[in-house]
Amino acid sequence: MTNTILWGRHPDYANGVWIKLTQNASDAEKASRTAQGFVLAEMPPGIHPVGGEDGSIRIYVACLAAYNNGILHGCWIDATLGEDHIWDAIKAMLAASPISGAEEHAIHDYEGFEGVSLSEYESVQHVAELAAFIEEHGAIAGKLVEHFSDLEEAKEALEDRYCGVHSSVADFAQEITEETTQIPQNLQYYIDYERMARDLEMSDILAIETGFEEVHIFWQH
């Protein structure tokens, strides 16, 4: 395993959780990790590594004991794999800390949360629930949480008040007008859907844009 990334899995937290221990590990470090109880490998054998892939919804969790001693020690964790997986990965990371008996951790970075901010001490339960919501619904999920600052309210809006995605609010105004009103052919070109859209946005709907001609519409009530 000389000149390779060294992976390890601690037997106390063995639910498929492998963490990246170090790169170009010396024989002395391998012996030290083995003495700590780690199973070592050049790559996680048949098991998805804890960090996930670049671009995934993940958090970087650091060991505070190491950080406070000027040592950077932590790991990326795939937040979509559930609360238990995240806790196992954190425990394994702390067990691998260069500071013996390390117990405290903090989130020092995160990716893929679609604009939602996480605090250093965000609860693992909230991180897992948020990641699952964003994984299922994509960018609009993150935009909703960002708008409401509340995960449950974001879920309620998507489940009960969602009107779909439209090219514009004016397009939505035209759609609901044509669905509910019989408009004579000779009057269709006189209807100002742009103005109707502005009126709708003032009190009736929430419009969130996630891309070019990609506007998600929600009823306000």
Report pLDDT for 3.
44
- Whether residue 110 lies inside any domain: the answer is yes
Looking at the fold, whether 138 and 171 belong to one and the same domain comes out as no
Single residue among 116, 148, 180 that ends a domain in this structure:
148
Report pLDDT for 148.
95
Looking at the fold, whether 61 and 88 belong to one and the same domain comes out as yes
Single residue among 121, 148, 175 that ends a domain in this structure:
148
Token couple for 28? 């002395």
Report pLDDT for 1.
37
SS3 letters across the chain: CCCCEEEEECHHHCCCCCEEEEECCCHHHHHHHHHCCCEEECCCCCCCCCCCCCCCCEEEEEEHHHHHCCCCCEEEEEHHHCHHHHHHHHHHHHHCCCCCCCCCEEEEEEECCCCCCCCCCCCHHHHHHHHHHHHHHCHHHHHHHHHHCCHHHHHHHHHHCEEEEECCHHHHHHHHHHHHCCCCHHHHHHCCHHHHHHHHHHHCEEEEEEECCEEEEEECC
Report pLDDT for 144.
97
Query: Measured on CA atoms in the order 194, 200, 205, 206, is the torsion positive or negative?
Result: positive
CATH number at residue 73: 3.10.20.480
Looking at the fold, whether 102 and 189 belong to one and the same domain comes out as no
- Whether residue 81 lies inside any domain: the answer is yes
- Whether residue 156 lies inside any domain: the answer is no
Which stretches of the chain drop beneath a pLDDT of 50?
Answer: 1-3, 14, 46-47
Number of domains in the chain: 2
Full domain range(s) for residue 74 = 5-148
- Whether residue 142 lies inside any domain: the answer is yes
Token couple for 136? 């299922």
- Do 91 and 103 contact (CB within 8 A), yes or no? no
